[in-house]
Amino acid sequence: MSVKLTWYGHACWSIEVPKATILIDPYLAGNPTAPVTPDQVKPDYILVSHGHGDHLGDTVAIATRTGALVIANYEIASYCQGQGCKAHPLHIGGSREFPFGRVKLTIAHHGSSFPDGRYAGNPCGFLLTLGKIKIYDAADTGLFYDMKLIGEEGIDVALLPIGDNFTMGPADAVRAAKLIKPKVVIPMHYNTFEMISQDAKSFAARVKKELPRVKVVPLKPGESFSV
Ligand code: NI
Ligand code: MN
C-alpha cells in the first residue's frame, strides 16, 4: 500500500491511502500557513488529537460538509456527535481497525479543553497502521520515555513537534527520535506563529549527526512525502 502524507502546516496532515483520505488536526481557517481552506478538503475520516483550537480546528465544519467520520477520544467524539457529526470514540491505549487501517491512541503530555473552555478529555497521539506502514503522530506533547515503547512497534514515519514553548522543542525532539528510532522524522508544530519559530534545517542536521540512520524530511506547507 502506498501512503502519501501532505502537510497543511502546523499539526494538520492529509494522509492518502488507496481507498481513503484521512485528515488529522484540521486547523485550516485560522492557520496563517495553511495552503488550503476548509472548503477545499474532502476527507473520509478526521482524526483529532485534542480539543485546542489549533487541532480541533475546522473539524465540525468539514465533517458536516463531507460526512467524514471523526475519530477521537470519547469526549471529543461526543462533542462532535452533539454538533451533528458522525464520530467514533477511542481512548488512550485502545485501537480499532477501520476500513483504511488501524488507529491506536497513544499518550501525550499536554492539556486539552475545547475553545469554549469545556473539558475535552485527555490529549493523545496516534499510531496508524496502514497496510505495512506504521506512522506515529506524537501530536502536542512533551518528551516522555514511553516513546521507547511506541518505537518498539517499528515506526516508519514519526511526526514530531519541534516548536518548543507549547510542545517539545528541537533538542527534545532529537531525544524523542532516539527513543522511537523511526526510519523518517517529519517535524511539525513550528513556524506557524512567532512563538514557535524554529529552524527545521538545523534540527535535521543535528539528527543526522546524532542518529545517522534516521532521515529528517522537513516539508513546506502543501508539500508531500510518500512512503
Ligand atoms: Ni495543544
Ligand atoms: Mn497545538
User: Whose atoms come closest to the Cα of 112: which ligand?
Assistant: 1
pLDDT tier at 139, thresholds 50, 70, 90: very high
50 Cα to the center of ligand 1, angstroms: 7
Distance from residue 91's CA to the centre of ligand 2 (Å): 19
pLDDT digits (tens, 9 = 90+) for 49-93: 999 999 999 999 999 999 999 999 999 999 999 999 999 999 999
Q: Answer whether 7's CB lies under 8 Å from 186's CB.
A: yes
Ligand 2 centroid to residue 185 C-alpha, Å: 18
Residue 54 alpha carbon to ligand 2 centre in Å: 5
**Ligand in closest contact with the CA of 54:** 2
Per-residue pLDDT at 1 exceeds 90: no
Q: Output the CA 212–ligand 1 centroid distance in Å.
A: 30
Extract the C-alpha cell encoding 180.
522511537
**Mean pLDDT in residue range 94-108:** 98
> 103 CA distance to ligand 2 centroid (A)?
20
Q: Output the CA 181–ligand 1 centroid distance in Å.
A: 24
Q: Which three cell numbers stand for residue 26?
A: 484540521
The answer to whether the CB of 18 falls within 8 A of the CB of 195 is: no
How far, in Å, from the CA of 111 to the mean position of ligand 1? 6
Question: How far is the centre of ligand 2, averaged over its atoms, from the C-alpha of 164 (Å)?
Answer: 10
Going from the Cα of 154 to the center of ligand 1, the distance in angstroms, rounded, reads: 26
Which percentage of the chain shows pLDDT scores above 90? 100
Confidence band of 111 (pLDDT split at 50, 70, 90):
very high
Q: Of 148, 99, 107, nearest to 127 (Cα)?
A: 107
Per-residue pLDDT at 145 exceeds 90: yes
Short-list 75, 69, 72, 46, CA closest to 58: 46
CA 125 – CA 167 distance, rounded (Å): 13
Report residue 84 CA to chain centroid gap.
24
Cα-based torsion angle of the residue sequence 214, 218, 222, 227 in order, rounded to the nearest 10 degrees: -10
The C-alpha cell that represents 101 in the structure block? 487501517
Question: pLDDT for 201-212, tens place per residue?
Answer: 999 999 999 999
Domains and CATH numbers, the chain: 4-226 (3.60.15.10)
Q: How far is the CA of 96 from the centre of ligand 1 (A)?
A: 24
First to last CA, the chain: 9
Give the mean model confidence (pLDDT) for residues 155-166.
Answer: 98
Cell of 179: 527513543
| Predicted structure pTM score | 0.98
DSSP label of 113: B
**Mean pLDDT to the nearest integer, 166-190:** 98
What percentage of the chain exceeds 70 in pLDDT?
100
Q: How far is the CA of 222 from the centre of ligand 2 (A)?
A: 19
If you write DSSP's letter for every residue of 129-181 in order, what string do you get? Answer: EETTEEEEE--S----TTHHHHHTTT-SEEEEE---SSS--HHHHHHHHHHH-
Instruction: Name the average pLDDT for the chain.
Output: 98
Q: DSSP for 56-111?
A: HTTHHHHHHHH-PEEEEEHHHHHHHHHTT--EEEE-TT-EEEETTEEEEEEE--S-
Q: What pLDDT score was predicted for residue 189? A: 98
Going from the Cα of 90 to the center of ligand 1, the distance in angstroms, rounded, reads 19
d(CA 113, CA 116) in angstroms, rounded, equals 8
Q: Is the pLDDT of residue 168 over 90?
A: yes
| 149 — pLDDT class (breaks 50, 70, 90) | very high
